[in-house]
Amino acid sequence: MGTKELRKREIWQVDSGVKAGVAEKNFYEIFLKEFEGSDFRIRSKPKEFKNIYSKIQLSEKVLASIYNPDETWKHGILPDYAIDNIKTKKTLYVEIKRQDGWVEGKHRKVGRGNAHERSCKFFTPGLLKILRERGKLGDDVLPFWVVFQGDIARDPKRVREITCWYAEKSNHFFLWSNPADNKSLIDHFNDKLKPLLI
């Protein structure tokens, strides 16, 4: 990739990050208001997993074959939010994935981002186990909710991929195509996810 292309990519990443930040802030404010006076709370950037990877024990054979720095370092994940039931001590972790997409008037290549693919880390056996233990939701429940926001929520390719990946666990994603529509977002949580926290 040449210098010109790299500059364009940097501009695209900054713009994408700003839009994602706005989507996350909107989500947080909606649920902060929704949970006023209830047993529920929303936490931004929950820190309980910020060091999970660096604590993974490796075999002597693996350790002998990789770089092992002397310094102490942290490596983990920071979900965008945690929704806690203060009374039951149950927690659901939330990711907001905002991405442009292939919709009316745009070229198909506009939807080539991979925000939805990055959210799939939560499906991995190791992270599922860690999130379930901390969230206390049980082994048959996905301990996370991914909210897809922006054009990705209407992109015919990405919506089909997401629908396939979640299959019968479709309650655990939401296509928030209209950020002005707070009601459908809150209704989805109240109808499909809130009961898991009670």
Span 28-76, pLDDT tens digits:
999 999 999 999 999 999 999 999 999 999 999 999 999 998 888 899 9
Q: What is the reported pLDDT for 1? A: 59
Helix, strand, coil shares, percent, the chain, to 5:
50, 15, 35
By C-alpha distance, which of 92, 118, 113, 90 is closest to 101? 113
User: Which pLDDT band, with edges at 50, 70 and 90, does 20 fall under?
Assistant: very low
Contact 77, 126 (CB under 8 A): no
User: Which pLDDT band, with edges at 50, 70 and 90, does 18 fall under?
Assistant: very low
Bin 15: left if φ > 0, else alpha if -120 < ψ < 50, else beta: alpha
Q: Is residue 189 predicted with pLDDT exceeding 70?
A: yes
Domains of the chain (ranges, CATH numbers): 3-197 (3.40.580.10)
Three-state secondary structure of 59-107: CHHHHHHCCCCCCCCCCCCCCCEEEEECCCCEEEEEEEEECCCCCCCCC
Q: Is residue 15 predicted with pLDDT exceeding 60?
A: no
Q: What is the reported pLDDT for 37? A: 97
* Cα 20 to Cα 39: distance, rounded to the nearest angstrom: 28
Count CB neighbours of 49 within 10 A.
17
With a pLDDT cut of 90, the percent of the chain lying above it is 70
Q: What is the reported pLDDT for 7? A: 57
Instruction: For tokens 């949970």, name the residue.
Output: 35
- In total, the chain counts a number of residues equal to 198
